Amino acid sequence: MTPIDRAHLGKERIKRRLIGELDPEEWELPPKPRWMRWRTYHRLVERFERYEAALDAAALSRATKLLRRS
């Protein structure tokens, strides 16, 4: 797996853990479930944001490479 694939997979795992009975298409990052501790939720949010930052960096890198070729 590439780093991009791992980032997408990590985001989906976090989303599945948080989503519960909510509509997955409605939420980028679902709200905290009632049963979850705030500390755990904040840790998952930080991890989710790190995955998003990795995906943004990879997209920027690819775009830069494509522009250099042109």
pLDDT tens by residue, the chain, 70 residues: 888 999 999 999 999 999 877 887 888 889 999 999 999 999 999 999 999 999 999 999 989 988 998 7
pTM: 0.82
According to the model, what pLDDT value does residue 21 have?
Answer: 78
Exposed/middle/buried for 55, CB within 10 Å: 0-12, 13-18, 19+? middle
Total domains in the chain come to 1
- pLDDT of res. 59: 92
Domain residues for the domain of 37 are 3-69
Cα distances (Å, whole numbers) of residue 30 to 34, 59, 66: 12, 24, 34
